[in-house]
Amino acid sequence: MLINSTWTLSVSTSTVLPRSYHLKLVKQLHQQLKLEMGSEIIPSVSYSGITGFYSTSRDFVTFDPEEFYQLSLSGLNQTSAKAISNLNLSDSLEFLGAKFNVINRENEITSYEELYTNLVGNEPEPITHYDLCFINPTAFSQGTTNLPLPLPILMFRSWLERWNNFAPVYLGSDELIAYLGNAFVLKNHKIQTRSYQLHKGFVNGFVGNVTLQALNRADPLLANVANLLVQYARFSGTGMKTRLGMGQTLIK
């Protein structure tokens, strides 16, 4: 089972929170989900923080009563997906003295088997062009450093690692990554770096729009596997610290 739940939120008055609010919120949500944080090498929950238009000033963010905001949670295995499916935020979400009104909730529910059958097993016409939007800072762990750049091989590696960890259908490993890294190029992008506060300091990541393009020589079957991984990114997120609000990925 896979689920992505998105709540639409609003505030009644101008609301100021510390930039690190997402750490308190994700901890509170895990308590409500009755899921332990930090016990998994590859997290089975991805979390967006509260996204939308807000103003920033030094160590604080201000949410506007005239705007609508979104909060997303995805569950990548049966336990986390079921917990998210059963999560009831009622009429409001309250933390750190702030109150967000819950306007709406939308669920996207599928399964690994369904995604694989529809996007690979049924042998659809390959998709060779992807427009991705990274709405939260995204970075890749590279040993002792972090890389805030949308390199195709690193994106595919991130998605494949999660897929192979949770899905009943194993797709492959280093050879597949090497192939996809050579078969897809970064056609264009409009990104900028943005810092993201974690428990111990800040991490630089990129946000913005990225276009991936398959080369003409791409094998149709493996192009469909690439499409499967791209679509999976809507649930898994991309790169490091997706449980804490980094790497949220939309497919246009």
Q: Which pLDDT tens digit goes with each residue over 222-242? A: 999 999 999 999 999 999 999
The residue type found at 23 is: L
Dihedral, CA of residue 238, residue 241, residue 246 and residue 249, to nearest 10 = 20
Domain boundary among 91, 110, 129: 110
Q: Using one digit for the tens of pLDDT, what is the confidence trace for 82-137?
A: 999 999 999 999 999 999 999 999 999 999 999 999 999 999 999 999 999 999 99
Residue 45 CB burial class (10 angstroms; 0-12, 13-18, ≥19): buried
Confidence of residue 216 (pLDDT cuts 50, 70, 90): confident
pLDDT(144) > 90? no
pLDDT value, residue 226:
98
Same-domain check for residues 62 and 134: no
Same-domain check for residues 65 and 184: no
Same-domain check for residues 102 and 120: no
Nearest CA to 196 among 140, 144, 244, 142? 244
pLDDT value, residue 18:
95
d(CA 16, CA 60): 7
Nearest CA to 45 among 103, 2, 101? 2
Tell me the pTM. 0.96
Same-domain check for residues 240 and 173: yes
Tell me if 251 sits within 8 A of 230, measured CB to CB.
yes
Q: What average pLDDT does the chain have?
A: 96
Domain residue limits at 83:
2-110
The whole-number average pLDDT for the span 146-152 is: 97
pLDDT(141) > 80? yes
Q: Count of domains in the chain? A: 2
pLDDT value, residue 200:
76
The whole-number average pLDDT for the span 66-93 is: 97
Same-domain check for residues 26 and 136: no
Helix axes 152-166, 174-183, angle to 10 degrees: 140
Same-domain check for residues 138 and 242: yes
Confidence of residue 32 (pLDDT cuts 50, 70, 90): very high
- Name the helix (H) or strand (E) containing 131: strand 129-138
**CATH number of 188's domain:** 3.30.70.1900
**Percentage of the chain surpassing pLDDT 70?**
100
What token pair was written down for 131?
């427009």
Domain boundary among 110, 143, 178: 110
d(CA 208, CA 182): 23
